[in-house]
Structure 1
């Protein structure tokens, strides 16, 4: 599979380095490539090991919708790995993810709710999501007209409700 070959043959370090470049087109292409590479379980681990999480989190605040969506897509994929769930939160991923729960871009909402739902399966993260103010916007999204946003918000709330402290918030 090409996704594994690209990483094994050294493609990841230059792609991660491009996440810090100022050329918008290169940034769009680099985030797209990393998002696609992150769909492979082995690559999820390697992207994190190579320091890819922090720059992707930084790009969640990009003014470019495509860069933002692709960075979010990569984070969403990376959040499916148990170790990455912890790393994403420790590296500052919750504030921008929770902020994106209030955005008007439907694709970003879909990705943000999916990422938070994935992160919320970790016991530590259940508490941190609540502490960072993630419960109220998730509840607000239960009335979204988008079925996927609604479903993923409910999934996240179900995960958060498994923590005793969150049940009374």
Structure 2
């Protein structure tokens, strides 16, 4: 998927893609029933999340439920990048509540037990961020 590479290769592309309306179609592709397409899409969105404005736009487009779904059921690479995406999204206060209320915490905890080293790192950081919100406390 070319857009995945465009979001990785040039920092300016992260802004251009967002400014030209590229984020809404990418978020829609997260729910497409093709695991490789989901993998490429979640990775492209992860690359776009480096830009703070894109975090808010990706959130507004409703990406979090699909990212959680891919975290639970995607390919290995898609799960790894979904964990990283949730880590990035969990940095916004409003997303701490959203991720928790959409049951995003259990699959992150599962990664602590069964994930790769990178998945465990991203899951740990995301869980730490989520724990800062009182509504996510047990």
Q: TM-score, normalised by structure 1?
A: 0.75
Q: Secondary structure at 1:80's aligned position in 2?
A: coil
The answer to whether the Cα contact below 8 Å between 1:110 and 1:149 also exists between their aligned partners in 2 is yes
Does residue 143 (structure 1) correspond to residue 134 (structure 2)? The answer is no
Secondary structure in 2 aligned to 1:55? helix
Could you list the per-position Cα deviations for residues 98-154 of structure 1 after superposition, in whole angstroms to 9, with x for gaps in the alignment?
A: 111211521111011011111111111112111222112211221014222221111
How do 1:5-154 residues align onto structure 2 when only pairs under 5 Å count?
Answer: 32-39=1-8, 40-103=10-73, 105-154=75-124
- Once residues 124 and 54 of structure 1 are traced to their aligned partners in structure 2, the CA distance between those partners, rounded to angstroms, is 19
Higher relative contact order (CA 8 A, sep 6+): 2
Partner SS, residue 45 of structure 2: helix
| Greater C-alpha radius of gyration | 1
TM-score (normalizing by structure 2): 0.90
Q: Structure 1 runs of 4+ off > 6 angstroms?
A: none
Unaligned ranges ≥5, structure 2: none
Secondary structure, counterpart of 2:59 in structure 1: helix
Q: What is the alpha-carbon distance in structure 2 between the residues aligned to residue 73 and residue 45 of structure 1?
A: 16
Number of the residue aligned with 1:16: none
Q: How many residues align?
A: 137
Greater fraction of residues in helix: 2
| C-alpha distance in structure 1 between counterparts of 2:70 and 2:117, whole Å | 18
Cα deviation code 1:25-59 (max 9, x no counterpart)? xxxxxxx2211111232211121111111111111
Contact 2:99 2:105 in 1 (8 A): yes
